[in-house]
Chain A
Amino acid sequence: MKTGMRKERIDRGIKVRSDSIYALSSWREISYLMAPRALLVGGFLLAPLILYFFPYWQKVLLIVCIYALLSMAFDFLANYVGLVCLGGSFFVGVGGYGAALLNKYLHFSPFLSIPVAALGGAAFCTFFLLPCLPLRGVYFAIITLMYPLMMTRIIEAFELFGGTNGMMDISGFANPWVEQYFLIISTLVFLFALRRLAVEDIGLVIKGIKDNDQSVRASGINITVVKAQALFYASFLGCFAGAYLAHTYMWAGLSMFALDFSIIPIAATVVGGGGSLLGAVVGAILLVPLSEALRAFGPLRIVSYSLILTVVIVIKGEGLLNYLSRKYSQFERWVEI
């Protein structure tokens, strides 16, 4: 038989984790594993300092974090639980209005009203989405798309909470550094907590529901409870982002239910690559500054956004981070047979 060459693929990530007792035993291996994480954490922590001379871009950094939270919520629901949720703005709106109400009528300080609004808002969203949990796929997507639209119309029709004008005079953060680091650190904590959750027992059950809910149910696990729990986590992130937004803008209004908060996180997840939560954050880091840079073009911003999204979906369906991480950890070489 003719001798030939064949391509061999080595996965360094697997090799590092399984070759020796611990990756900890070698500096090279541990730094290989830690480098991307350190880059992300360090980058996020240093960003406000680097952007010190560009106050405008410091604001953009806050928006990046907010969209990162929303994208994580979308990614978690879509790629871990299997519920494609087009209603990110429902979470934002509920969190935002919640924080605004708490601040205005109960005079909570931002540090109290944000967590309380996030928890209460998550409970509210979970409660109202509970009847839709048995739905799947397109059906769940459409119904969640309807929720924020419905909220807008209801607030408009009944003139609730200031009607179309929204609620003004919400107290902001006194110190810009506190404002930035509070959000950045919470974003990082939520990111790693959610990633950890996905490999715990509950995470395995959640992924099982995505793959085959009937067999999970056959194992005697109440899937509605688990789904509701997962939905609670995701809506907690969304409401946290919304509450933060209300205090940053010192305003809560109808535009918190706007489609932007549903569409951009989806775009970020698609561009960054779903299924790892990190991809969603990377997507937000790429897309939000891009959209700020395009702000001068007015409506053209949304046009270019949509076009980028379509092109990425058609050409590179797996997303940027999945592609990069494959390049980072896998090597291909020719070996003789």
Chain B
Amino acid sequence: MEILIYGTVNSFKLILIAFGFTLVYGVSRLPNFAHGAIFVFTGFIAWIMMHKLNLPLLPAALLSLAGAALVGVLIYQVILKRIRGMNMNEIIATYAIGVAMIETFRWLGFKGTTFTLPVLFEGMLFIGDVPIDYQRLMVVTVGLVMLVAVWIFTKFTRTGLALRGIAQDERAAMMLGIDSDMTATLAMALGSAMSGLAALMIFPLGSIVVEAGYNTLIFALAVCMVGGIGSWGGTVLAAFVLGFLQVITVTYLATHFQMVVTLGAIIATLIIKPSGFFGKHKELEERV
């Protein structure tokens, strides 16, 4: 029972973390390796707003989400736009920017475990005999709301349909008057904001540490790889598989092995079926 509940919570954490990454990659084939950095960035910005500017939680959260989206837009407009299509350079450039952001925070003295965000609702309840606090329930709720929102957005709004159009066939979409750069910017903004949302949901459970940036990136990569890069259904399924796998590992082995399982999942997936559960790429394109 405990595994069931905490596995679900952990799975939704992973969904929150990975969905922004897979959105950006799915729409415009941009691997945003600064994803983890934006995650940490949002956490620290929210902290700064609350403790230095004495803002209440909600405005601080909204402003830091806007900040995350802005960073996403800037990364696209300043850097990625110029090197788009050069796969390797995209990875190296976004990763370098991410490292620069994370290490800047470290340099500014944001290290240790003294930085925490408050939870929205205090308290806990019991499901059966398993205690669970409201923040963890919030993670699940927000995750569900986000999934539904994204689904509605991409199915029923013009902008959302444009995103899907670009994702399916960039040239055809451009012929119909959809601006590729605009959608990529929008996707980066949305993806970064989602990363920020994940940060605001997950950081109150522990403290804000810079190392979370690197771990988040690995988790996001793991989920996307196992689910098939760019496939949204696959991402959700993979988040559940990995989420439960992690909780089971922690319960029966040790916390040490959590990362080993995650990394092992990536390696195993890439070797056995590189396109993931629902990858859209044809096998031949990746394999010889």
Interface positions of A (Cβ within 8 A of B)? 78, 84, 131-132, 134-139, 141-143, 146-147, 149-150, 153-154, 156-157, 213-214, 217, 223-224, 263, 266-267, 270, 297-300, 302-303, 305-307, 309-310, 313-314, 317
8 nearest CB pairs, A to B: A306-B100, A306-B96, A299-B107, A157-B256, A302-B103, A299-B106, A309-B96, A150-B263
Most interface-central of A132, A267, A310 (chain B CB within 10 A): A310
CB contact list, B49-87 vs A, under 8 A? 78-79, 82-83, 86-87
Known: A132-B267, A217-B288; 17 extra A-B contacts, CB below 8 A, are A132-B270, A134-B287, A143-B266, A146-B267, A147-B267, A157-B260, A214-B288, A263-B99, A299-B104, A302-B103, A303-B100, A303-B104, A306-B100, A307-B96, A310-B79, A313-B89, A314-B82
A213 to B107, CA, bound (A): 45
Given A137-B87, A139-B286, A157-B256: A309 touches B107 (CB 8 Å cut-off): no
Tally A-B pairs: CB < 8 A.
Answer: 114
Complex: how many Å from CA A295 to CA B259? 30
Q: Are A150 and B103 in contact (CB under 8 A)?
A: no
Residues in A with CB closer than 8 Å to B78 are 314
Give the docked Cα–Cα distance between A153 and B259 (Å): 7
The CA of A147 and the CA of B260, in the complex, are separated in Å by 10
> Is residue B176 contacting chain A, with contact meaning CB distance below 8 A?
no
| B254 at interface by CB-CB < 8 Å | yes
Cα–Cα distance between A138 and B31 once the two chains are bound (Å): 9
- What are 12 A-B pairs with beta-carbon distances under 8 A? A84-B88, A134-B286, A136-B286, A139-B270, A150-B264, A150-B267, A157-B260, A303-B100, A306-B100, A313-B93, A314-B79, A317-B86
Q: Does B274 have its Cβ within 8 Å of any Cβ on chain A? A: yes
- In the complex, how many residues of chain B place their beta carbon closer than 8 angstroms to a beta carbon of chain A? 39
Most chain B beta-carbon neighbours within 10 Å: one of A137, A138, A214, A317: A138
For B103, the chain A residues whose CB sits under 8 A away are 299-300, 302-303, 306
Interface SS of chain A: helix, strand, loop or mixed?
helix
Q: Within 8 Å CB of B260, what residues of A?
A: 150, 153-154, 157
Residues of B with C-beta under 8 A to A137: 87-88, 286
Instruction: Contact check, A309 vs B92: say whether CB atoms are below 8 A apart.
Output: yes
Q: How far is the CA of A136 from the CA of B285 in the complex (A)?
A: 9
Query: Which A residues lie within 8 Å of B267 (CB)?
Result: 132, 143, 146-147, 150
Chain A residue, CB-CB nearest to B78:
A314
B257 contacts the other chain (CB 8 A): yes
**Cβ proximity bits B7-49 to A, threshold 8 Å, 1 near / 0 not:** 0000000000000000000000001000000000000000000
B93 touches A314 (CB 8 A): yes
Residues of B within 8 A of A (CB): 31, 78-79, 82-83, 86-89, 91-93, 96-97, 99-100, 103-104, 106-107, 218, 221, 225, 229, 254, 256-257, 259-260, 263-264, 266-267, 270-271, 274, 286-288
Residue of A nearest to B261 (CB): A153
Is A131 a contact of B86 with CB atoms below 8 Å? no
Given contacts A135-B274, A142-B266, A154-B260, contact A310 B96 (CB under 8 A): yes
CB neighbours of A213 from chain B (8 A): 288
Question: How far, in Å, is B41 (CB) from chain A's closest CB?
Answer: 14
Among B31, B100, B287, chain A packs the most CB atoms within 10 A around the CB of B100
Q: Could you tell me if B218 and A149 are in contact, using CB atoms closer than 8 angstroms?
A: yes
CA distance A16 to B78 in the complex (A): 43
Asked, given contacts A138-B87, A142-B225, whether A132 binds B271 with beta carbons under 8 Å apart, the answer is: yes
- The complex places the Cα of A262 from the Cα of B83 at a distance, in Å, of 22
Residues in B whose Cβ lies below 8 Å from that of A134: 286-288
B88 touches A78 (CB 8 A): yes
Across the interface, name the chain A residue whose C-beta is closest to B214.
A259
Task: Check B225–A157 contact: CB distance below 8 A.
Answer: no
Distance, CA A143 to CA B268, complexed state (A): 10
| Alpha-carbon distance A270/B89, docked complex (angstroms) | 9
Question: How far in angstroms is the closest Cβ of chain B from A78?
Answer: 7
Which residues of B sit under 8 angstroms from A317, Cβ to Cβ? 83, 86, 89
Residue ID in chain B nearest A78 by CB atoms: B88
Quote the shortest CB–CB distance from B182 to chain A (angstroms).
Answer: 21
Q: Are A149 and B286 in contact (CB under 8 A)?
A: no
Give the distance in Å from the alpha carbon of A336 to the alpha carbon of B229 in the complex: 56
Residues in A with CB closer than 8 Å to B257 are 153, 157
- Bound together, the chains give a CA A267 to CA B96 distance in angstroms of 9
Given that A143-B267, A149-B259, A307-B96 are known contacts, is A314 also in contact with B287, CB under 8 Å in the complex? no
Chain A: which residue is nearest B97 at the CB level? A310
Docked CA distance A84–B89 (Å): 11
CB distance from A123 to the nearest CB of B (A): 19
How long is the Cα–Cα vector from A222 to B91 in the complex, in angstroms?
A: 30
Residue among A136, A139, A313 making CB contact with B92, cutoff 8 Å: A313
A residues within 8 A CB of B86?
A: 317
Interface pair B107/A310, CB less than 8 Å apart: no
Given A149-B259, A153-B260, check contact A142 B96 (CB 8 Å). Answer: no
Q: CA–CA, A310 to B91, complex, Å?
A: 11
* Closest partner residue, chain B, to A128 (CB atom): B267
A29 to B264, CA, bound (A): 56
Q: Nearest chain A CB to B283's CB is how many angstroms away?
A: 10
- A52 CA / B65 CA spacing, docked (Å): 55
Q: How far is the CA of A332 from the CA of B31 in the complex (A)?
A: 40
A138–B99 Cα gap in the complex (Å)? Answer: 19
